[in-house]
Amino acid sequence: MLLSVSFFGFFLAGIILIFSSFRKSKNTYLAAYLLFSNLFSLIYYLIFQSESVDYAAFFALNFTPFYFLSQPFLHLYISSQRKDFKLKPIYFVLFVPFLIILINISPYIWLPFSEKRVFATAFLQNAEVLYQAKLLFLPYYYQSLIRPIFNLLLLLFTYFTYYKNRHAFEFQNAKFNERNFVFAILLISGLLNSMSFIFIVNKLLISTFEFGILTDVSFVTINSFVSYLYVGQNLLLLFFPQILFKELFNAKPREKSKKDPSIKSESTLSVDRLNEIEVQIQEYLQDNKPYLAQGFSLTIVSQNTGIPSHQLSYYFNDHLKTNFNDWKNHLRIEYVVSEINQGKHKNFTLESLASSSGFASRANFNKAFLVEMNQTPTEYIKNKTPQKK
């Protein structure tokens, strides 16, 4: 069952990535959460249910750092629901535990595979052997205890973040509101990590005080409960097609009709999507002024931002009420005027000004400048009052 559940989770993560093709999509974080969450259940199956020495040698310790990635990506997914969300450097602190554990298990990583197979053989006979693994600075027992504690603390922080910013969150309208999905995924994640924490604490109590809190609950029962939680987490997505197929929901094809041409057609892009495109383009333009390069085109913008060309066309033509060339020329002339106002034109000819702003010829430059400024570049420079330094 765990094997099917895990592969189904990977499949859903792949669908999310395919239908969220534009960069900086919040669904990318959700796909990463599903990937690493289901990785845990897959490794559990490969080690304990297949009882393969090779699988145990490869997965038993090598992949433990990845268990520290699911909750950070879930936190990013929840936080990215805010309209003003930006991925800031501070968020990378969430991934510090992953790096620490990766360094901690480095002695095992570099072991020859033949030695790992010997260790795996003993491990399959007695799982307690894991606690004897030679790690760098933190014994495996404490490492396994840190994971659910870290996940639960981060989960509580995620709950707090959501509650604190609940009025700033925006969810796409649909039959099943995405807000309900967020509630459900937080609940399931909380249950999964709580079960893991209780299981570790139970082992600690038994080994220290010979007293347990789950003495009447079999391991098979716990395993089944965890499996059902993973099943529920993955199946939950099927009720939210706007998450699985985000791209299709954000860009519905126009319906052909014989309506009066004087009546404006309804928007084919949601307001949320238009706002996302606006933010992406502004960030893209601020990086290195790509519009100053000759050959700058709608296709290049689409490739560099990940925004589909048809969405860009709609954004310019229907939302901004302009075409791409006029928009591009406006940015270029705006740049040239800024250069002239700063007195930088004195060391350049009109040809060099045209070339440096992306125009293929002086004629095109003059034409665009005249349209934008109602005068030629020569007239503007002549009438410009020199600025005092």
Identify the CATH assignment for 271-383 out of 1.10.8.60, 1.10.10.1100, 1.10.10.60, 1.25.10.10: 1.10.10.60
pLDDT for the residue numbered 255: 44
Mean pLDDT of 229-253: 73
pLDDT for the residue numbered 305: 85
Mean pLDDT of 118-134: 85
Q: Give the residue with greater pLDDT, 194 vs 204.
A: 194
Of the listed ranges 173-177, 243-247, 355-359, the least confidently predicted one is 173-177
pLDDT for the residue numbered 205: 74
Same fold, 2-249 and 271-383: no
pLDDT for the residue numbered 22: 46
* Ramachandran sector of residue 127 (left: φ over 0; alpha: ψ -120 to 50; beta: rest): alpha
Query: Is pLDDT above 60 for 95?
Result: yes
Mean pLDDT of 261-284: 72
pLDDT for the residue numbered 43: 82
pLDDT band with cut points at 50, 70 and 90 for residue 214: low
pLDDT for the residue numbered 262: 40
Spatial distance between the Cα atoms of 89 and 91, rounded to a whole number of angstroms: 5
The pTM of the whole model exceeds 0.85: no
CATH architecture of 2-249: Up-down Bundle (1.20)
Dump pLDDT digits (tens) for 375-386.
888 888 888 755
SS3 letters across the chain: CHHHHHHHHHHHHHHHHHCCCCCCCHHHHHHHHHHHHHHHHHHHHHHHHCCCHHHHHHHCCCCHHHHHCHHHHHHHHHHCCECCCCCCHHHHHHHHHHHHHHHHCHHHHCCCHHHHHHHHHHHHHCHHHHHHCCCCCCCHHHHHHHHHHHHHHHHHHHHHHHHHCHHHECCCCCCCCHHHHHHHHHHHHHHHHHHHHHHHHHHHHHHHHCCCCCCCCCHHHHHHHHHHHHHHHHHHHHHCHHHHCHHHHHECCCCCCCCCCCCCCCCCECHHHHHHHHHHHHHHHHHHCHHHCCCCCHHHHHHHHCCCHHHHHHHHHHHCCCCHHHHHHHHHHHHHHHHHHCCHHHHCCHHHHHHHCCCCCHHHHHHHHHHHHCCCHHHHHHHCCCCCC
pLDDT for the residue numbered 259: 43
- The ranges assigned to domains in the chain are 2-249, 271-383
Dump pLDDT digits (tens) for 21-48.
544 567 889 889 999 988 877 887 777 6
Query: Is pLDDT above 80 for 368?
Result: yes
pLDDT for the residue numbered 256: 43
pLDDT band with cut points at 50, 70 and 90 for residue 243: confident
pLDDT for the residue numbered 112: 93
Of the listed ranges 157-161, 283-287, 307-311, the least confidently predicted one is 283-287
